[in-house]
Structure 1
């Protein structure tokens, strides 16, 4: 498992934890098609994270 804010940093979408937090709190991040505002949301390999028009499957990006 990985937290949502850590996943955004891992992908390089957010350069800092603060930037990831703001993206999440501003409603710019969806998990499985639903806006997620909890930066500590725990993701599993099957979850899909969408930012803008890009979608990332957690399991395809975390080894």
Structure 2
């Protein structure tokens, strides 16, 4: 079962998402986190902290699933 993450805007960046869900504590850590950890976006590896996430996107991070809604 995936965690549902509700956004109020058209999109959110991957770096902001990581901060909002508590995986990292500052936006500056996103670059290093993505370099050292595997993140899947809709089944494909993603390492760009500025990647825009939209409603319906699914991320898998550390075996946890998150769905943007």
Range of TM-score over shorter length: 0.7 to 0.9
Q: Flag the structure with higher strand content.
A: 2
Q: Which has the larger radius of gyration?
A: 2
Q: Which has the higher contact order (CA 8 A, sep 6+)?
A: 2
Higher helix share: 1
- TM-score for the superposition, normalised by structure 2: 0.75
Give TM-score, length-normalised by structure 1.
0.81
Structure 1, unaligned stretches of length 5 or more?
none
Aligned length: 59
